[in-house]
Structure 1
Amino acid sequence: MKFFSIIIPTYNSSATIKACIESLLQQTFTDFEILVVDGLSSDNTRAIVEGIADSRLSFFSEQDSGVYDAMNKGIKKANAKWLFFLGSDDFLYNKNVLADMNGLLKKTRAKFVYGNVKIVGDTSWAKDGEIYRGVTSVPDLLTFNICHQCIFYSIDIFKHKLYNNQYKVLADHDFNIYCASRYQMQYVPITVSFFNAGGISSRLMDANFQKDKWVNTVIYFKKKLFDKSFYKYRYELKKTVKPFLKQSKFKLAFTALRAYSFLKLSKFM
């Protein structure tokens, strides 16, 4: 078993995939595999990847339903202790990233370890050149996602859940909220990669995710929401009561209502 599985979803990525992979092959730490999971590209992505002679590199190509479907397929093929997802137009920050992370991951009990990314280009949530985003508390994660290009996930997490393909743009945000409800998270002050602002998460909205976000939050966290740190989200939690009642999920409706009531009163405690 390798230490890292690095999963790169691709579709018509010929302009960027070589630089992405080269940033991995230049690493001083070498105990990793690279899984390029392609969605039947019509350009020469396959030729570029297959033209790179390295036994750690594997290329798979078949029709998929989007980037998170490709990531799920990569997870099922992975054979490593830690999984890392890199966009085909992103690349590691320097040649020592994996060596530095290896040293830290060997010592941690956390199953979700994250650093920072450096933004390339402007997004609606970060500007060009910015280091995004430092320590992110569990409540803050409900507003600000952590880029998966700086997260290292224990393989154990994926034994219980994969990315939800209904969320075409922000399935990683949903998945990270799920992880925060169940696993220890650890921030490390390392800039892991350059994040290219041209991806779908920088440009598009995800109506399905936004519709389900707070319902899912209640499902994931349940009684863990009875914490003063969630105070600013009390009204969002209250709004989930009706959807739960319509679905006859009475225990979840009661949990959401109790959490709202507790948080409303917590201001005076």
Structure 2
Amino acid sequence: MKISIITVCYNSEATIEKTLKSVESQSYPNVEYIVVDGNSKDNTVQLIQQYNSIITKWVSEPDKGLYDAMNKGIEMATGDLVGILNSDDTFYDEMVLQQVANFHKQNNIQASVGNITQHNEEGKTVRKYSAANWNPEKLRIGFMPAHPALFIKRELFDKYGKYALDFKIGADYELITRFFLKEKISWKYSEITTTAMLIGGVSSSGYESYKLITKEIAKALNRNNISFSYTKIFLRGFWKLVSFLKKK
């Protein structure tokens, strides 16, 4: 089983080397690693070139943003499974892709859903995000599994489409809604912690971002003809807090 890992980046010289080293450290041998750079102006490309031995394909050219770059990577991919590793994230440990491959070999599924950890710039873990209690119906109220913990059969992108470019920060939500809720692909929770993410990012900070992603969640559900309550989506932060307090 070949696994295609896609990293998209732009001016990522401060973080991308740890990402590249993380891929290099994986014990699983059948990995296709694709790096899509958005024509960086710093030393990102020079760092990419230093890891040619582990990079199967790479390109550096202007794009229309994060999701356009992901789509380019998917178009270049030839693996059985596709996973995304952001340019400021790492795999949780060196056994992740071996575990993912074993899980998919043991289960007749089209996608697996795992866990992530989030850490600050000092490397301290500040949050663990588990998909143990997630199911596709929760997309109706604003809850999706962690995008980097998804491994999806490549053929699904040909069948159901790639990331929609008219979303600013919610194209991953729309794709997951389309695949899991509209098309009802087969999936299973893997229990694997796949990724250590640097906290922050394009869709996880500030009230304005919260309002924007709320709007885009509603847009994603509408586009796929999924019934939902806008109020419940807007209040998803409150329910997350309640859930967190219950665990205390």
TM-score of the two chains, using structure 2 as the length reference: 0.81
CA contact 2:90–2:197 (8 Å) conserved in 1: yes
Alpha-carbon spacing, 1:168–1:95, altered in 2? closer, same or farther (3 Å): same
Q: Which residue of 1 aligns with 2:224?
A: 220
Which residue identity lines up with residue 68 of structure 2 in the other structure? D
Higher RCO, 1 vs 2 (CA within 8 Å, ≥6 residues apart): 2
Which residue identity lines up with residue 205 of structure 2 in the other structure? R
RMSD: 2.3
Which residue identity lines up with residue 137 of structure 1 in the other structure? N
Consecutive unaligned residues of structure 1, counting only runs of 5 or more, are 226-232, 238-269
Q: Which residue of 2 aligns with 1:169?
A: 169
SS at match of 2:20: helix
CA distance in 1, matches of 2:42, 2:12: 8
CA contact 2:91–2:196 (8 Å) conserved in 1: yes
CA contact 1:38–1:60 (8 Å) conserved in 2: yes
Larger radius of gyration, structure 1 or 2? 1
**Post-superposition shift, 1:49?**
0.7
After TM superposition, the structure 1 = structure 2 runs for residues 85-234 of structure 1, keeping only pairs within 5 Å, are: 85-121=84-120, 128-135=125-132, 136-142=134-140, 143-159=142-158, 160-181=160-181, 182=183, 183-203=185-205, 205=209, 210-211=214-215, 213-214=217-218, 216-220=220-224, 233=228
SS at match of 2:69: helix
Q: Which residue of 2 aligns with 1:75?
A: 74
Consecutive unaligned residues of structure 2, counting only runs of 5 or more, are 232-248
CA distance in 2, matches of 1:29, 1:137: 29
SS at match of 2:192: strand
Q: Which residue of 2 aligns with 1:267?
A: none
CA contact 2:203–2:213 (8 Å) conserved in 1: no
Alpha-carbon spacing, 1:141–1:128, altered in 2? closer, same or farther (3 Å): farther
**Post-superposition shift, 1:146?**
1.6
CA distance in 1, matches of 2:66, 2:47: 20
CA distance in 2, matches of 1:108, 1:31: 19
CA distance in 2, matches of 1:207, 1:72: 26
SS at match of 1:103: helix
Which residue identity lines up with residue 139 of structure 2 in the other structure? L
Q: Which residue of 1 aligns with 2:49?
A: 50
> Hey, which bits of structure 1, 4+ residues long, moved more than 6 A?
none
CA deviations on 1:198-226 (whole Å, 9 max, x unpaired) are 3212236276764454454255356xx6x
Alpha-carbon spacing, 1:214–1:52, altered in 2? closer, same or farther (3 Å): closer
Which residue identity lines up with residue 137 of structure 2 in the other structure? P
**Post-superposition shift, 1:103?**
0.5
Alpha-carbon spacing, 1:212–1:98, altered in 2? closer, same or farther (3 Å): closer
SS at match of 2:173: helix
CA distance in 2, matches of 1:218, 1:152: 25
CA deviations on 1:119-170 (whole Å, 9 max, x unpaired) are 1139xxxx95322022211122331222221110111210121101111212
SS at match of 1:106: helix
Q: Quick one: percent identity of the two aligned structures?
A: 28
**Post-superposition shift, 1:102?**
0.6
SS at match of 2:126: coil
Q: Which residue of 2 aligns with 1:251?
A: none
CA distance in 2, matches of 1:59, 1:212: 30
TM-score of the two chains, using structure 1 as the length reference: 0.75
CA distance in 1, matches of 2:202, 2:178: 21
CA contact 1:115–1:187 (8 Å) conserved in 2: yes
CA distance in 2, matches of 1:8, 1:206: 25
Which residue identity lines up with residue 130 of structure 2 in the other structure? R
CA contact 2:148–2:195 (8 Å) conserved in 1: yes
After TM superposition, the structure 1 = structure 2 runs for residues 217-256 of structure 1, keeping only pairs within 5 Å, are: 217-220=221-224, 233=228, 235-236=229-230
Alpha-carbon spacing, 1:202–1:215, altered in 2? closer, same or farther (3 Å): closer
Q: Which residue of 1 aligns with 2:40?
A: 41
